[in-house]
Amino acid sequence: MCIYEQLWGEAMTAFELGKPQLDAHLLDKANDLRRGVSLSFWLPVFIQARIKNFLDQLAADFPGQYFYRPEELHVTIITLVSATDHWQNEFGDVDAFREILREVLSRHHSFKIEFRGVTAAANAVLIQGFPVGSTLENIRADLRRTFVERGFPNRLDRRYPNSAAHATAMRFCRPDADWKHLTEMLKASRQIDFGTMNVETLQLLWGDWYASADRVRVLEEFRLPSSA
């Protein structure tokens, strides 16, 4: 089963019961000290604009929930330091991680991703991304293998393995919402075409759990050679 279909089924059950997973940190985001490091890429402006139109409709009907700003929309390739309160304990390894990233990414080319339709998890609304070809899968596998070879086993994606190419667009933080209405709106948006992008640059990011624009710092950029 496609990961998006699996998440959708879990979300529908949660919504029907009126018991989505709420993110309590969002009610006091200013004091959320969790930080982490990930390899990610940002969505281009034309896709951001299409997603914003969709989110504006949701925001009108679901005030008080958390919506990503257009410039915060991203896809995580792999998580190197999980976002926790104790991120400093592992940040010293980031320089070694950079060397591994440079080596691994030099072996791979740019790739395309189609952003089409929405799905939901029990805690969020996601924009579905579908990689064209196997490059993204190969990059993740190469990174995991090389990190083990270089003495960093069990360091990547420790909360959960990144296997999809989604962009999180909305998170739930308040219980007073019409979850049935949300279900109806999401069902009507399952096939929206948000556009296709060519992923040519990856960023090593330090930031909070939500990649908030005012908290993210780009540690390094990696240019992927053209696949042509």
* pTM, entire model: 0.93
CA 130 to chain centre: 13
- Domain ranges for the chain: 3-223
Phi, psi of 143 (to 5 degrees): -65, -45
Q: For residue range 80-100, what is the model confidence (pLDDT) as tens digits?
A: 988 878 777 777 788 999 999
Phi, psi of 136 (to 5 degrees): -60, -45
CATH class of this structure's domain 3-223:
alpha beta
Question: Which letter does DSSP use for residue 177 in this model?
Answer: S
Question: Rounded mean pLDDT of 12-37?
Answer: 94
Q: How confident is the model at residue 198 (pLDDT cuts 50, 70, 90)?
A: very high
As a whole number of angstroms, the distance between CA 76 and CA 202 comes to 10
Give me 181's structure tokens: 């209405």
Average pLDDT, the chain: 92
Task: Answer whether 7's CB lies under 8 Å from 121's CB.
Answer: yes
Tell me whether strands 217-223 and 201-207 are parallel, antiparallel or unpaired: antiparallel
What pLDDT sits at residue 152?
83
As a whole number of angstroms, the distance between CA 50 and CA 205 comes to 24
